[in-house]
Chain A
Amino acid sequence: MSRPAASNAAVPARFKPGDAVVVRRAYPPGHVRTPWYIRGHHGTVVHALGPFPNPEELAYNRPGLPAQPLYRVRFRQSQIWPDYVGGAGDTLDVEIYQHWLEPAGAAP
């Protein structure tokens, strides 16, 4: 299935690599690609991947436009799981669309 070219109908990017972000703590119904376990957590943008049609719309056969910028966001495992067993430096990278992210102040 071909998807419409996203770049000419995209939401402007709000974030860049290095930015501190927090994942929205929201629980809407539907086809959501933001894992439950990561909502509400603080992370750092590591890659800005460009705009992609919104999968929450594509899932219902809508065009998914305007496209949402997609980011790879890095989280510290020890902050996601309080009883995490492993190195203090262990990390988790998750792809998250911009409308799920808010700017965070200083890293927690």
Chain B
Amino acid sequence: MTDSHVHTPEHAHPHRHPPRPDTDDTLGHYQIMEIAVRELLIAKGIVTPVEIQRAIEAMDARGEALGAKIVARAWTDPAFKARLLTDGTEAVRDFGVDMGTTRLFVVENTPRVHNMIVCTLCSCYPRMVLGLPPDWYKSRNYRSRAVREPRAMLREFGTLMPDDVEVRVHDSTADMRYLILPQRPKGTDGWSAEKLATLVSRDAMIGVAFAREP
């Protein structure tokens, strides 16, 4: 790059920076295959472009807010919590969630056991309750180190785990999808489920963080 220069507060950009190269102008093998299969399915009348668009919209509409509502209800409704921990798939139907061909397995964090989720094989994630996974969840770095050195991984998320707490990693390798039920933060007695849900982050439901303090 010939345009190197020192950036200072006084530097007023009288010239153009060289454009950064696009990173989305080359299709990989699987991207080309996806397009080809999609075009074939449409050409054969098996799905329509509108159906594909609706499915994308439905996936985008799911997000951590849904998971947070489920967690907040479990914190405020002991009967629901019992159902959620016994058969998560059935319990989340209350929220209109259909787990499809997978099942929801909810694990509870306690003062003695801290749970976290990873999928070392690919990127299995509870999409039906949390939406699309964050990019880091799919990275090789997280996928390999979450099972190999979970405490170091947690530290990088700012989550310091005392030695006397058991760290339990769940490798989501098959038909279960996992949701972590975080510990309810102290100082929230009497809070409504709606207010509690604001303390529940996506990362807390993956198990790499605690719920927010009030």
Task: Mark A residues whose CB is within 8 Å of B.
Answer: 1-3, 33-35, 37-38, 49, 52, 55, 70, 72, 77, 81, 84-87, 89-97
Contact = CB atoms under 8 A, between A and B. Distances in A.
Interface of B: 101, 103, 105, 120-121, 147-152, 163-176
A92 B168 contact: yes
Contacts, number: 73
Interface residue SS majority, chain B: mixed
A59 to B, nearest CB: 12
A94 B169 CA distance: 9
Top-7 shortest CB links A-B: A95-B174, A89-B166, A94-B171, A86-B151, A90-B167, A95-B173, A91-B168
Contacts of B150: 77, 86, 90
B167 A33 contact: no
A42 B121 CA distance: 20
Nearest to A80: B147
Contact of B101 (A1, A92, A93, A95): A1
19 contacts: A3-B101, A33-B173, A34-B173, A35-B171, A35-B173, A37-B120, A38-B171, A52-B175, A81-B148, A84-B149, A90-B150, A91-B168, A92-B168, A93-B171, A94-B173, A95-B172, A95-B174, A95-B176, A96-B174
Nearest to B172: A95
B22 to A, nearest CB: 34
Contacts of A85: 149, 151-152
